[in-house]
Structure 1
């Protein structure tokens, strides 16, 4: 199951919950990028794309960077529009459970599973960091008995809020639909869902992001601070939205060095 490289691994043995069909886009999956060193943690990578697609430059290239610093990575193929809530969240939660359940077979530490995502994938990262459970001990599927709480989260230029004036309207529409209830908007405005048990967090954004305002990251950081959750926040002066590794910008590209040090500090 785990030896073939660059193959997608289905997260559910049969159909995923709430599936609409049997095509590739209906099948949540992960692609494994194991590091040579065993015994360390792993990072689940969630590309962005406004919950309408998944940006390739925010997937495999990020996993390969993590490999270069000695960390195993898993790129998540989660469901996007026409799928809406709760499908993407179910996929991300299942990915955490799946990687943790199979940690020994991959040679990774089950108690050091982080999630890192970009833009709308950053929203999904923050969502799985604020909406989690300890698993259902009575579940028939042993993977469902495993906790889906990440041990650390890394939202990168993230969508955080579903509320105006800083919400990214496309992400909100694709995730929650045209007329979401006030309760659903509140629940997925992640800045309102932080508790003292929210995982340690690394955030970065750029001040002139004209797609997802930097206030998204600032609000989440403020909520983390109010709840005494350890966090690193890095705001760069300039940089377009969707930079990924930011290899074309020597200043903003330093986020990978800083984040790598932070991940090491978290035990990964």
Structure 2
């Protein structure tokens, strides 16, 4: 396959400071003032599989969406045992023609809806980007595709967004994906892999599933020791995956040639998903001549999303993403 010939946009290592003493708290994303209550959820959703998700024969699940927050100012929910995957749509007041597929993390055990989904969507929708938060199936729930079940959902989601671009005022050539933690792994699979993981079910599956840019926040990238996130690997591949499985699902071992430009964001003191996940992937992307930008913060830990970053260096990450995407002619 012909190598991508565009030059590397830049490797920016930004040293900063983040201090997260507790897991979550309310944040007013623009004014820095505490919210009295979380904003309402959008009521527009898109079912990915109107006739049921593929490979679900015999799958019997009871979906749950527990609330973990004890603070009335914000939600902290996660989706588990998802049987009917969907997109939640965040329409901006003034669309700028771009779109983001947001894939939250959760170690492939669940999907964290608010911290890395709805909260991030509101930040980018505020500046004109139409956002779609993916609630995806989990690999250990008995789906025939096993570890590829979440990827089926991500591929289908990208195709639905692109095929309905005119409905949302979106340019079909300006659709990115943003994934966090294990959602970053899934976003990476969507970006790097070219194989069809499910048979086409309608005309919408004829459009491209390739994102036009990829943002990976503290991504689970490798499945190999010593830097693998053990929980993600176990829930994706099982307790004792074979060496060929580990390699097949490690992002740094994949062929990224001709992939869309990539933005990497990680904290150096991430104890859950070591920064080597991004560093190893960065080397692979550079070797494949994929236009890449990387920002590493000295502090921050794991899973900071857009909360608890007011007044700290990492609060600039959405602006960094916007500036990078703007240089790619994708105005987020």
TM-score, normalised via structure 2 length: 0.75
Distance in 2, matches of 1:63 and 1:263, equals 16
2:84 to 5, 24, 27: 27
Deviations 1:82-116 (A, max 9, x none): 33411111111111011011111111011111100
In the alignment, is residue 186 of structure 1 matched against residue 247 of structure 2?
yes
8 Å CA contact retained: 2:96, 2:129:
no
1:135/1:183 CA distance change after superposition, 3 Å: closer
Aligned to 1:254: 316
Deviations 1:130-181 (A, max 9, x none): 1135899x94511221211111110100000000010101001111112323
Question: Within 5 Å, which residues of 2 pair with 1:218-237?
Answer: 218-237=279-298
Give the deviation of 1:23 after TM superposition. Answer: 4.7
8 Å CA contact retained: 1:132, 1:147:
no
In the alignment, is residue 60 of structure 1 matched against residue 118 of structure 2?
yes
More helix by share: 1
Give the deviation of 1:252 after TM superposition. Answer: 1.3
Give the deviation of 1:245 after TM superposition. Answer: 1.0
Structure 1: tracts of 5 or more residues without a match: none
In the alignment, is residue 80 of structure 1 matched against residue 117 of structure 2?
no
8 Å CA contact retained: 2:101, 2:132:
yes
What RMSD over aligned residues (CA atoms) do the two structures have, in Å? Answer: 2.0
Deviations 1:180-219 (A, max 9, x none): 2322211110011132211100101011100000000011
8 Å CA contact retained: 1:28, 1:79:
yes
Q: Answer 1 or 2: higher relative contact order, Cα 8 Å, separation at least 6.
A: 2
Aligned to 1:92: 154
Distance in 2, matches of 1:135 and 1:242, equals 29
Structure 2: tracts of 5 or more residues without a match: 1-40, 64-81
In the alignment, is residue 195 of structure 1 matched against residue 256 of structure 2?
yes
TM-score, normalised via structure 1 length: 0.92
In the alignment, is residue 173 of structure 1 matched against residue 234 of structure 2?
yes
Give the deviation of 1:5 after TM superposition. Answer: 4.0
* Runs of 4+ displaced beyond 6 Å: none
Distance in 2, matches of 1:263 and 1:247, equals 24
The total of aligned residue pairs comes to 264
Which region of structure 1 is more displaced relative to structure 2, 204-213 or 82-91? 82-91
